[in-house]
Amino acid sequence: MAGDAYDYVVIGSGPAGQKAAIQAAKAGRRVALIERQREVGGACVHSGTIPSKALREKALQLTRARQAGNAFQLGIVASVPLSALLAGVEEIVAAHDRYMAAQLERNGIRCIRGRASFRSPTALDILRVDGTRLAIEGERILIAVGSRPRQPPELAVDHEHILDSDSILSLPYIPRSMVVLGSGVIACEYASIFAALGCAVTLIDKAAEPLGFLDPALRTGFLTAFQAMGGKYRGGVEVAGARFDGFSQVEVQLRGGEVLSADIVFAAFGRVANLEGIGLDRLQLAISSRGHVQVDEQYQTNIPGIFAAGDTIGPPALACAAADQGRRAALAALGLPPPAHTSLVPSGVYTIPEIACVGLSRSGAASKKIDVIVGRADFSEVARAHIAGEATGFLELLCDRSTARVLGCQAIGEGATDLVHLGQAAIATGATADFFIEQIFNFPTMTEAYRIAAFDVLKQRSVPHAAHLKLAHAAN
């Protein structure tokens, strides 16, 4: 067993681990990155973010091709195998893998393939895929082992008839019908993608509405679009179990006795951290009741020198947040000054249509008792949206009533996840709604939505507060 010592060791090569390793290497430290899989990138690249977004793009292309086919009286194939839609995904993933591996190499990071487990707070034992072992030491260690789909005990996910987000893309066909269990981001993303592909999708969850963390306007926007594609949402429903009938259908038993049938069931009950087998029991690391590693504001665990970031530490479980956490954790571990703290983490939901928000929400403003004006731009008023044939959706700016300072931004519609970044920049720089009126933007672009929303803010600010409230009540 050959040993090696490093300044900084990262376990896991997802967004958090990768960015942490690069940050430490750029600071001149000797860095090792341990990854159990053949390729770097973690679930984000290989079974989650990248493949699902690629499928989403293909679903949109197919939908547009069908629409164009109707418009130009061209015959477009009604049904396309899922495998055909996923044909280019492997190349996308491979390209991502190639440039990430090159980036790590360029920065002189030693990538070690294997499973790591702690022998002590500074020593790791690595089991390679060929069965050989390697011992290494790290002055500082980052746990960035990611997460996997949670499997509730009442549901046997067989990956053939009852699938989760790790196996859904192995389906070679588009089912006629699908029951999606859950109402979070992953559930709604896949539900809308399959609905767009022509599958009859029923979303089921205990929550009254899907995507409960979003503002009501966004939730309603999603539901309206989902239902327009033939999707159904059944809230307030609890699942007792599900089983394949042996012939062609999966039966989902609801508490109360009702049984629903579908070709496929997709279970999306959140994710759990991959903490098994890394020897945490030897360290007595503090773990939360939900199975996440507990960290302080510098991403340090209760064991000095051991840090954690990404899905390992729980919500928001976003790739962008994980990458930022990884960078900050590396800087903290190496005693380097962190960049200015920002609480601005945009949320992107890649449903059809896209949803994104950043900064203050309506509910956030209400709970913090911040008086805000919500300026709204419907995409039906935006020239570029009509040109693109995507005139459904809206953008909202949440501004402080007294100063017009932009505090929040949210959008639903095609391109929302990109569009919201301009609002984020406005929030970060302390801009007011006037900024969007004073600046000259390209035309026609979706940025016009900001100008329309800003004018709406201005208009409302010109109305006396009491009168505005009265108007608002009347509108409700």
Residues of this chain that interact with another protein (CB under 8 A) are: 36-38, 47, 113, 115, 127, 129-131, 159-160, 166-167, 170-173, 175-176, 244, 246-249, 263-264
Closest separation between CB of residue 164 and another protein, Å? Answer: 8
Looking at the Cβ atoms of 128 and 470, the one nearer to another protein is: 128
The Cα 312–Cα 275 span in angstroms is: 8
- CA 4 from centroid of its chain's CA atoms: 36
Closest separation between CB of residue 294 and another protein, Å? Answer: 28
Closest separation between CB of residue 97 and another protein, Å? Answer: 12
For 443, half-sphere exposure in the C-beta direction (CA atoms, 13 angstrom radius) is 8
Closest separation between CB of residue 40 and another protein, Å? Answer: 13
Looking at the Cβ atoms of 7 and 125, the one nearer to another protein is: 125
Closest separation between CB of residue 38 and another protein, Å? Answer: 6
The Cα 168–Cα 157 span in angstroms is: 11
Looking at the Cβ atoms of 167 and 445, the one nearer to another protein is: 167
The Cα 380–Cα 386 span in angstroms is: 7
Q: Per the structure block, which two tokens stand in for 116?
A: 């790591």
Closest separation between CB of residue 319 and another protein, Å? Answer: 21
Looking at the Cβ atoms of 11 and 349, the one nearer to another protein is: 11
Looking at the Cβ atoms of 27 and 92, the one nearer to another protein is: 92
Looking at the Cβ atoms of 249 and 445, the one nearer to another protein is: 249
Closest to 144 (Cα-Cα) out of 310, 24, 387:
310
Residues with Cβ < 8 Å from 374, sequence gap 6 or more?
Answer: 362, 396, 397, 398, 399, 457
Per DSSP, the three-state class of 413 is coil
Looking at the Cβ atoms of 37 and 107, the one nearer to another protein is: 37
Closest to 264 (Cα-Cα) out of 173, 196, 179, 150:
179
Closest to 59 (Cα-Cα) out of 350, 393, 290:
350
Element (H, E) at 452: helix 448-462
Closest separation between CB of residue 248 and another protein, Å? Answer: 4
